[in-house]
Amino acid sequence: MATASVVIGAFLLLVMVCISVYGAITLPSEARIPLHYGIGSYGNFASKTVGLIMWPVAGAVIYGIFVGVSEHAIKPNHGGSGPAPLIMLVVLVLVAALEYGAISLAARRTTARSE
């Protein structure tokens, strides 16, 4: 399970990079990408470049943390790595979906401004 989840997690990270590339191609240069910096800091918008870079970077940090945790949890007599690989996949899918939603929102906001 641990090896499969690492490969699937890497694929999800690639999907996040592809979503950012899609946003870079389709969004106008004045687009503002929504970002969430933590508890109580919603409603933040960053420039197109920063926003499109921050989403995959956040995914890479999450991926690195969970891979590090799951790899250090595996010992010679250990039965498995526990729920960490599954949690990593759920979190990465959620972040990828939120990234797509953020790019969609940025596209709607720039379309509404130009009308």
Global pTM exceeds 0.85: no
- What mean pLDDT is predicted for residues 67-77? 66
pLDDT at 70 over 90: no
pLDDT at 114 over 60: no
- How far apart CA 107 and CA 24 sit, in angstroms, is 11
Q: What are the domain boundaries of the chain?
A: 2-114
> CB–CB of 112/61 below 8 Å?
no
DSSP state of 34: E
pLDDT at 103: 93
Q: What is the pLDDT of residues 31-65, one digit of tens each?
A: 999 887 767 667 788 899 999 999 999 999 999 88
pLDDT, residue 92, reads 92
The more confident residue out of 82 and 76 is 82
> Could you tell me what percent of the chain has a pLDDT over 90?
42
Q: Could you count the other beta carbons within 10 Å of the beta carbon of residue 20?
A: 21
